[in-house]
Amino acid sequence: MKPNKNLFKRVSSSTLVSSLAVISVAGMPLVRAANNIWSDSGTTDWNTATNWSLGRVPEKATFGDEVVINTNTGSIATISADISLTPSGIIVGNGASTNGRLDQTAGIAATGGGNWMKIGHNGGTGVYNLANTAATGGTLTGYGQGTGSMTVNGHLRVGGGDNGSGGNGTANINTSGTLAVTSEFHVGTNSSTGVFNLDSGTVNIGNATVIGNGSAGGNLVTGTLNMSGGTLNKATGNQFRIGQSAGNGFLNISGGTLNNNGTSEFQIGDGAGSHGTVTLSASGAINTNSWLSIGRSTGTGVLNVNGGTLTKTNGGTAFIVGDGSTGTLNQTAGAIATNGEFWIGSGTSNGNYNMSGGTLSADSWFVVGRNANGVGKLTMTGGTITKAGSGDFVVGGDSTSNGTVLLSGGLINVTGGITNIGKNNTATGTLTISGTGDFRTSRLVVGVGTGTGTVNLNGGTIRTTELSGAAGTATANFNGGVLQATGDSATFIAGFDTAEILSGGAKIDTQNFTLTASQSFTGSGSFTKSGSGTLALTGNSSTYTGATAVTAGTLLVNGSLASSNVTVSSDAKIGGSEGTVGGLVVNSGAIVAPGNSIGKLTAASATISGTLQVEYDGTGTGTVDLLAVLGSLDITNATLDLSQLGEAANDGAYVFASYGSLVGAAFAGITGIIPSGYHIDYAYNNGVNTNNIALVIPEPATALLGGLGLFALLRRRRN
């Protein structure tokens, strides 16, 4: 085979250059990418070629130009119309001691695909104004509203640098247009300071967002995002973080709306050494659709809600204050709503929620102190918390957690589920109500499973149908405030290991319901029963030494108040079957009615200025109510009210009162009906003693003498 001589043919220089040119275009850029630097040549127009160091308007497609603007005086680089060519990236303030400024008052601009926009880079200071810088007006920017739009087809970094070099960047946005970032958005990163101000316009972010992004052991990093208006939309995907990895992040929203969409988590203070603070006020709004964490993974987070609205959707995720670290939620006004679970202190963390105003609504579990040594505390002096939907309101929930609720003002309203204080696995929970605090729940159960729970009612009001202790350790301390019934209940107060009435007293408002309390009480404070309903005490409270007052409705003592003096006010009533009280004072207009039907009430002493109600029944021998007074019985101002149950009286005597000593010769008045043939004997001999008051039928001889005496009296009157 002969060689192909054409392969070795010489070519002309022009042919060689042409061939190289073809190879260059096919394989790599003919001209290497270079920084095209703003030259401050006397005009401000971006689209003027002579304003650039390379003598051309920056372009990526042909030249790969990256814009660098290092001047902020004189002829400030300005985009006032659509840019004629698209550059690679844009850097404003690049390098140590540089100062750059870019104004965009109108028009549409963009960076090339995959390229960044950097404001304040590698030790430089940069400012980007997407606003009408020729006018004033913006709350944050100080500038009027422009009409420009910018698309960053890559990352936007405001204040940052490479390899820890840092920078200082500021972006001012007040436009009717849009700032779109297709990838990540960082404000303050790598030993830098960044500030992003939004007065109006729409900001769309396509990927992770970090405000204050440092590195462990690195230099101070501070990032701040301020909003007074406009809309910021974060697409689904990577997280929205305020303060990350030793960075300090601040998000301040006094107006406008921030939307964190899809599965993107919202994290305030994430990572070792990080500090994140979010402040929501005035008409600002935050909407987030996934997990919301304050203080996460050894970071420190603070959320201040002083107005506006914060809404967390997606019921499969939680709102967490203290998520493995230290988190604080402070609320003075505004509205928070979540349709997922709400946790304060979850998993080796410390969470604090301080509320003095505003509202919070949660549609699932509300847990203060949750799991694995989580410590949670809710301190409430005002505002309203509403827990609706499924799940319970839990203080100290599982795995050695510790929860505390201090309610001295405002309202906690549990409309869905019940309330547990100290639930399972050695968890500890404490609920303290004082001042004007108002706690409402269908049931309040303390010490569930192996948990330890304490309820302190020092003031305010608990409204429920049940306050009870469960299988764990349960304590109730009554030291002021009101326990108000919201329905009939056979277990109104029950099951506590200790229920002590302290100096502030226990105040029970039955309203118009019928209640039973089997709990035994100790202590020396006062016990007051109010409300038109009925409260039956069936426990043994013989060691309780405080005073008991019945101011309205009916108190049935079916257990023991043997060491408590009881006073019954006008229009109120005391009764009970086989119950015992200390001294008993029944004021004018009040009633003492032994028994729940026919029954016995024992008192150490009794002074009756009201009514003694006695029921008798002829179906059994001596079937009648009995007031057994061990000491003095004073009936000087008492009224006896007799009524029949069942059959007519047919026994020889019905003893309805006994005494150690009697004050007063007879009842001041008698109502009802004395059975035919009976009279009242105030010293009836029951075979043991004569210290009895009874309905009796006279013996035959006594009746005859009485009849003869009456006949003689009538004869004398005729004469």
Q: In the structure encoding, which two tokens stand for residue 331, read together?
A: 């609320």
- Residue 545 contacts residue 521 (beta carbons within 8 Å): no
The tens digit of pLDDT for each residue in 117-162 reads 999 999 999 999 999 999 999 999 999 999 999 999 999 999 998 8
Backbone torsions φ then ψ of 242, nearest 5 degrees: -120, 105
Q: Give the residue from 196, 197, 180 showing the smallest Cα distance to 111.
A: 180
Q: In the structure encoding, which two tokens stand for residue 672, read together?
A: 């009802």
Q: What is the mean pLDDT of the chain?
A: 92
Lookup result for tokens 């601009």: 109
- Interatomic CA distance for residues 614 and 641, integer angstroms: 6
With H, G, I as helix, E, B as strand and everything else as coil, classify residue 19.
helix
Q: Which residue has the higher pLDDT, 7 or 515?
A: 515
- Interatomic CA distance for residues 344 and 365, integer angstroms: 11
Q: Looking at residue 555, what is its pLDDT?
A: 99
Arithmetic mean of pLDDT, 239-264: 96
Q: In the structure encoding, which two tokens stand for residue 568, read together?
A: 């019954």
DSSP for residue 286: E
Q: Count other Cβ atoms within 10 Å, centred on residue 512.
A: 11
- Interatomic CA distance for residues 341 and 291, integer angstroms: 10
- Interatomic CA distance for residues 429 and 473, integer angstroms: 11
- Residue 133 contacts residue 143 (beta carbons within 8 Å): yes
Domain extents in the chain: 37-76, 102-304, 563-719
Q: Give the residue from 392, 320, 330 showing the smallest Cα distance to 358.
A: 330
At residue 590 the predicted structure's pLDDT band, cuts being 50, 70 and 90, is: very high
The tens digit of pLDDT for each residue in 440-485 reads 999 999 999 999 999 999 999 999 999 999 999 999 999 999 999 9
115: Cα separation from own chain's centroid: 45
Exposure on the CB side of residue 349, measured as CA atoms within 13 A: 32
Out of 303-307, 342-346, 371-375, 684-688, pick the least confident: 371-375
Give me the torsion for CA of 330, 333, 339, 345, rounded to 10°: 10
**Single-letter amino acid, residue 656:** F
Q: Looking at residue 29, what is its pLDDT?
A: 40
- On the question of pLDDT at 708 being above 50, the answer is no
- Interatomic CA distance for residues 498 and 85, integer angstroms: 80
Helices (H), ranges, 544-588? none
DSSP string for residues in 387-412: E-SSS-EEEEESTT-EEEEEESSSEE
Helices (H), ranges, 194-344? none
